[in-house]
Amino acid sequence: MDTQTSCAEWRAVESTNGREALRRAVEVAGGQTALARALSTGERPIRQGHVWAWLNRENGVLPSEFVLRVESLTGVSRHELRSDVFGPEGCP
């Protein structure tokens, strides 16, 4: 199977690993509060409760606007955090 077909098939299936990836990112960051502080900006404060909600109420779905920042801060891949948006690693 070629890469384009594999990527298209991947995007058709929602990943269940996003929550685990987000949990790993939280752990690497030093906890929910530490991740929230790292993501906060003057315009948009992020609190520990936001991170808790992403893990528990949002089915482990990190809002896409934070994915690249979390990847940069923790090393947890965007492809793991939001495969529904970024697809598996190696896909365009």
Q: What is the mean pLDDT of residues 31-35?
A: 98
In tens, the pLDDT along 1-31 reads 455 546 666 554 444 578 999 999 999 999 9
- Looking at residue 17, what is its pLDDT? 79
CA distances from 72 to 11, 13, 56, 60, 81 (A): 23, 26, 23, 19, 12
- CA 52 – CA 87 distance, rounded (Å): 24
CATH topology of domain 3-86: 434 Repressor (Amino-terminal Domain) (1.10.260)
- Looking at residue 65, what is its pLDDT? 94
Is residue 20 packed enough to be buried (19+ CB in 10 Å), middle (13-18) or exposed (0-12)?
A: middle
Say which DSSP state 51 is in: H
In tens, the pLDDT along 47-91 reads 999 999 999 987 789 999 999 999 999 999 999 999 888 877 776
- Looking at residue 6, what is its pLDDT? 65
Tell me the domain boundaries of the chain.
3-86
